[in-house]
Amino acid sequence: MKIRAEHITKEFGEFAALVDVSIEIPSGELVALLGPSGSGKTTLLRVIAGLEVAQKGRVFLGDEEITHATIQARGIGFVFQDYALFEHLTVAENIAFGLSVRKQPAAKIELRVRDLLARVQLSELSTRLPSELSGGQRQRVALARALAPDPKVLLLDEPFGALDARVRAELRTWLRRLHDDLHITSVFVTHDQEEALEVADRIVVLDHGKIEQVGSPNEVFDRPASAFVIEFLGGANVLRGEVHGDRGSFGELVLPWTGAGDGAARAFVRGHDLELGREPVPQSLSVTIQDVREIGITARVVVTHLDHGELVIELSRRRLAELALVRGDRAIATVRTASVFLDNPPPSQALS
Amino acid sequence: MARRALPGFGLSLGVTLTYLGLLVVIPLSTIVLKTSSLTWAQFWTVVTAPRAVASFALSLGASLVAAAIASVFGLIVAWVLVRYEFPGRGLIDALVDLPFALPTAVAGIALTATWGSTGVLGRYLHAIGVEGAYSRLGIVIALVFLGVPFVVRTVQPVLVQLDPRLEEAAETLGATRLQAFVRVVLPALRPAIVTGFALAFSRALGEYGSVVFISGNMPGKTEIAPLLVMTKLEQFDYSGATALALVMVISSFAILIAINSFGRRSRKRDLHRKRPPEERPTLPPPATIVRGHV
Amino acid sequence: MKRAVGETPWVRRSLIAIAVGFFVLFMVVPLGVVFAIAVRDGIAPYLAAITTPDAKSAIKLTLLVAGIAVPLNIGFGIAAAWSLARFKFPGRRALLTLIDIPFAVSPVVVGMMFILLFGAHGYLHSSHKIVFAVPGIVLATTFVTIPFVARALIPALEARGPEQELAALTLGASPWQTFWRVTLPGLRWPLAYGAILSTARAIGEFGAVSVVSGHIRGETNTVPLHIEILYNDFQYQAAFAVATILVVLALATVVLQRVVEWRAERNRV
């Protein structure tokens, strides 16, 4: 079942959480809403679920408009950030809730609960109360509970936020597998770009209530649509300069420019898109080695450039060993790939 | 206006407003209505009659004194309950709530019987010429009894949460125990003590049941304001009674509002926190991407 | 939080002595006196005093009044808590203060208000006897017990947040199902606490009821009023005998409160 939101605007008093946001989520996909806090990602999720009501815009589930439907009529499974388990009910009763409010026969409920408990691997804990469970276990109960009434779509609000790193990593993989099993359209909210890149089929990047980019993880990572996207996903070195006509100059570096407009611009280069070398070549930056740090299998080298200041270069330790560079050495850095963005783009920019 | 996601707003608010309107607002408005049937001159005469003034002064004075004493005792009791272990601590902690639960009439006759001139404890006072009942002292005794729980219950939670490391820090810096208490603990407790004082004071002002037994109700000496109102009612002087009642009601409202706003200011709690708008980056969105194999 | 070092033992013992002494002198002894006077002529007169027809009808009336006032205020408390704890709207703070008003009005004034409203020359006078009759007592008692349940429920509901209710809605529960199966079970203990407190107050209310009842023996006397009548008639032994009933109830109230608090602590996550 696909989800579509059209021109959603949601304000909380003076604060605009979402500004004219439109998005379509294809059926069966696992989509991440990614962005920093305040970006509107949770608000968008809640508007789709009916937990918030937008001032403007429409929401569709499949072909049906649900903009004015009540929460309980939407048939949407929702996993809350703090799980919102019913503290006075056991694990089994929590999971059964969505079915028992629909007056399903007891035998059917029991079967379904048992099935879901097995799927989330919590069968031995069915009679426990939520207060007796660990964070990761509560998470899984919340998920099972949301899935029990066979929802049309599944929405998850920062599902792994409150858990420690190891549990988070396990659950990420587990969620991905669950989705592959069930093929239910799922949308989850996260501020963790690694999580989004690892788990999602498609990523929607939001900032300040607007969509910055929509694409597959590789698209969003390799071909960022804006300065915000590249800085939020993975970070990058920033080279300041200017673009005119069909080229941009950034210090002694010249890069082709195919965009519209002229003026001050910045070139974003990821740490692993800068190559270190010893011999000067055309279109390279002269740098001085400032700091060398080896971390596991990669190495991170901080260099300084006259105009561009400090740059961070990532390379494999093997390559570093080959170069045999130490602090104080002079070296060159070449740019493999860069994303160039105007500082002040002309207003009518359609998003690619 | 956006529709609310949670259901039941209209129904619950409607019930609440209707109930309060019928049961609180309308009855209260009768006081204002009835008083407005008096002219200002008449109102003023009633309210400034010597007997009335004496009763106001007595109510006010006794309540202030009682609230002050209750604050001191309440602070001690709260301190002892939170900081010390001793046999019977649980019992005392439970008994603190007793004045809340005990009917005021019972409190009144019990205190009178105990502290009166022939009472188990009052006889010792009587021997030294002090009357524990049918006197102003008796009124204060009853009001202190009622006020202490307010102070204890407002101070206790604050004391429980007070980090003992603050006092330890003060002591490592050279403060004596007393100095640490006065300069570190007391300021932290001040809002709670003030609130407790105000609650005890407010309760004492309107108190009728316990005081009416222990005071003897001698006009000009031990007649509290509520009792004067009662007397006027029995004499069918409804306008006079309402005039006095209006003064009492207005002063208790003022105190109530003061307590609530004071409590709100020192609590700083916000139900629906709005997400703070973040710093905008200096660059708005995009231009194009360059692929350059240099 | 108990500290190993701190005040000198001398200071500590004095403070404890003051606290304990206060309680003994102002609470334990007076309560003991009530029982002592009640049984000073023996057990038989004691039992007689609490089983006179007037005493029995006073008890019945008190129970009737409490039986009406408390459920009404529970219903109100739930409605008020839901609207004030779950929603934001202009005037919310004023409404919170309005709920506290019965605390601020002197009992005598409470009774007086209802006389002004329903009395012989009252604004809403009708042929039905309201004041100087049972309905007036019910109204006055309901008024003074309005805040108790609401004030127990509002912070409890605020502390829990709406997540569980929203979760129930997403699972397809109707608003009423959500209320019965999720909201109320979570409010069990605050509700019990408020109900216990308001029942104690309803039973013991004196000033307001005294004004509004007319003191008609056997008809409009609650237990506290009955005690007053006996006392003013110098029938001390009987007055205190009846008072022991209320003392026992007050002690039971305090014990029940403790139990509820303890159960609530245990259920807290």
Nearest-Cα distance to chain A for B71, in Å, is 39
List CB contacts (< 8 A) between A78 and chain C: 166-167, 170
Between β-strands A153-157 and A185-190, what pairing exists: parallel, antiparallel or unpaired?
parallel
What was the ipTM of the complex prediction? 0.88
Q: For residue range A248-306, what is the model confidence (pLDDT) as tens digits? A: 888 878 888 887 788 888 889 998 888 888 888 888 888 899 999 999 889 999 999 88
Residues 6+ apart with CB under 8 A from A78: A49, A51, A146, A154, A155, A156, A157, C166, C167, C170
Co-location of C92 and C219 in the same domain: yes
Residues 6+ apart with CB under 8 A from B254: none
Overall number of domains in chain C: 2
Contact at CB, A340 and B285, closer than 8 angstroms: no
Which stretch of A104-108, C3-7, C213-217 has the lowest confidence by average pLDDT? C3-7
Residue of A nearest to C162 (CA): A84
pLDDT given at position B85: 86
3 state SS of A300: strand
List CB contacts (< 8 A) between A13 and chain B: 274
Contact at CB, C109 and B226, closer than 8 angstroms: yes
Query: In this structure, which amino acid lies at residue A104?
Result: Q
Domain coverage including residue C98: 43-268
Please check the confidence at residue A350 and state whether its pLDDT lies above 50: no
C200 CB within 8 Å of a chain B CB: yes
Residue of C nearest to A142 (CA): C167
3 state SS of A10: strand
pLDDT given at position B26: 93
Contact at CB, B275 and A336, closer than 8 angstroms: no
Report how far residue C168's alpha carbon sits from residue A84's, in angstroms, rounded to the nearest whole number. 9
Co-location of C26 and C91 in the same domain: no
A308 DSSP 8-state letter: T
Query: In this structure, which amino acid lies at residue B40?
Result: W
Co-location of C132 and C6 in the same domain: no
Instruction: Kindly list the partner chains of chain C, i.e. chains with 3 or more CB atom pairs below 8 Å.
Output: A, B
A309 DSSP 8-state letter: E
C264 CB within 8 Å of a chain A CB: no
Nearest to C246 among B11, B106, B145 (CB): B106
The fourth-level CATH superfamily of domain B54-224 is MetI-like (1.10.3720.10)
Segment C96-100 mean pLDDT: 89
Q: For residue range A210-251, what is the model confidence (pLDDT) as tens digits? A: 999 999 999 999 899 988 999 898 888 988 888 888 888 888
Which stretch of A38-47, A119-128, B119-128, C219-228 has the lowest confidence by average pLDDT? B119-128
pLDDT given at position C217: 65
Nearest-Cα distance to chain A for B227, in Å, is 50
Co-location of C33 and C103 in the same domain: no
Residue of B nearest to C243 (CA): B106
Structure token digits, residue A273? 């898109």
Handedness of CA A316, A318, A321, A322 (dihedral sign): negative
Nearest to C173 among A72, A75, A88 (CB): A72
Residues 6+ apart with CB under 8 A from C69: C138, C141, C142, C145, C198, C202
Total-model pTM: 0.81
- Where does the pLDDT of residue C215 fall: very low under 50, low under 70, confident under 90, or very high at 90 and above? low
Nearest-Cα distance to chain B for A316, in Å, is 21
Nearest-Cα distance to chain C for A131, in Å, is 5
Report how far residue A249's alpha carbon sits from residue B143's, in angstroms, rounded to the nearest whole number. 85
Nearest-Cα distance to chain A for B8, in Å, is 13
Contact between residue C175 and residue B8 where contact means Cβ atoms under 8 Å apart: yes
Co-location of C20 and C48 in the same domain: no
Nearest to A71 among C163, C170, C185 (CB): C170
List CB contacts (< 8 A) between B213 and chain C: 231
Q: Which parts of C87-187 fold into alpha helices (H)?
A: 92-104, 107-118, 134-160, 163-170, 175-178, 184-186
Segment C180-201 mean pLDDT: 93
List CB contacts (< 8 A) between B9 and chain A: none
Segment A178-201 mean pLDDT: 92
Structure token digits, residue C13? 């013992």
Contact at CB, B84 and C75, closer than 8 angstroms: no
Q: Which of A81, A86, A128 to mutate to test the interface with C (most CBs of C within 10 A)?
A: A86
Burial C3-39 (b: 16+ CB within 10 A, else e): eeebbeeeebeebbeebbebbeebbebbbebbbebbb
Q: For residue range A55-72, what is the model confidence (pLDDT) as tens digits? A: 999 999 999 999 998 888
Contact at CB, A339 and B290, closer than 8 angstroms: yes
Nearest-Cα distance to chain C for B212, in Å, is 9
Co-location of C150 and C228 in the same domain: yes
Contact at CB, A87 and C186, closer than 8 angstroms: yes
Co-location of C121 and C24 in the same domain: no
C8 CB within 8 Å of a chain B CB: yes
Domain of residue C213, CATH code: 1.10.3720.10
Mean confidence (pLDDT) of chain A: 89
pLDDT given at position B277: 36
Nearest to A340 among B3, B290, B294 (CB): B290
A159 CB within 8 Å of a chain C CB: no
- Where does the pLDDT of residue A115 fall: very low under 50, low under 70, confident under 90, or very high at 90 and above? very high
Which stretch of B33-37, B88-92, B129-133 has the lowest confidence by average pLDDT? B129-133
